[in-house]
Chain A
């Protein structure tokens, strides 16, 4: 009987540890991150050229999302100071059928 109790307690303890671990890792994206991802996706769909007008891109992103910064090819524009940000990246490959890549990164608070 004691052995059965010990086995049952071990199984329950294992399930408990697994559930808490899974809850910790399997966290969904925050609303800010989801919004910023969709904004970048929409900008990629809507405009090939916006990334070549850096001020326009920064203003657009600042007005639509609650991003802390926008970085274009390594040049960072701060919108507001933040202690911790999560980076979301997209790549603009070019415009008018020519290759001219730009790396864009948005920093959003989780």
Chain B
């Protein structure tokens, strides 16, 4: 049995050991494995599901919220099958068209947000030589981008590639989401599509 001095020495050693371990623990970023650690993936899944809902709305119309809910239900169903414990979430979706600006916005209750926005501006009429003659085109200037926001990555802005599936319009890329669209005069409307499937309709009198 230790004498009094020995006991105090032992106590001192134990206190020192605890202090060293606590200092070591505070230097490491705590991330308990009992909580879903892949929050980046979770936020990206929500953006992915919301974007699919927006794509479906631009293609078939209907209710934007219902389209997004369809994809979210499937996401949670598969996540449960895979043993992924995704926290429940709610969202608010809106689609607005104001003059020549169209905007989709979906914001989740965990601060994940997706914005799909385009702005059209009618330009002048140009003549382009084709097949031995000249074809008159109306010039449209299009600004198009996606914004994805989440606490994990802040804000990401994407400028998706755009094309005209039926080949009627000419689509020219400028930079940073700016496009020049040439639509032949006499064509009432042209449908543009981005790489995710979002459809943008350009009518001869605007959107």
Contact = CB atoms under 8 A, between A and B. Distances in A.
Contacts of A42: 44
A88 B83 CA distance: 12
Nearest to A105: B82
B41 A44 contact: yes
B37 interface: yes
A92 interface: yes
Interface residues of A, number: 42
A37 to B, nearest CB: 5
Given A48-B197, A97-B52, A97-B55, A27 B31 contact: yes
A48 B196 contact: yes
A91 B17 contact: no
Contacts of B196: 48, 96
Given A25-B33, A48-B52, A90-B45, A5 B7 contact: yes
A29 B31 contact: yes
A64 interface: no
Interface residues of B, number: 53
Contacts of B33: 25, 27
9 contacts: A23-B24, A26-B32, A27-B33, A37-B40, A41-B41, A44-B41, A45-B156, A93-B52, A94-B52
A109 B31 CA distance: 18
Interface in A18-72: 19-20, 22-23, 25-29, 33, 37-38, 40-42, 44-49
A67 B191 CA distance: 41
Interface in B72-106: 74-75, 78-79, 82, 84
Given A46-B158, A99-B74, A101-B74, A12 B31 contact: no
A103 interface: yes
B44 to A, nearest CB: 4
Closest 6 CB pairs of A and B: A97-B56, A96-B197, A97-B55, A41-B40, A41-B44, A44-B44
Interface centre among A9, A40, A44, A46 (most CB of B within 10 A): A44
A91 to B, nearest CB: 5
A22 B25 contact: yes
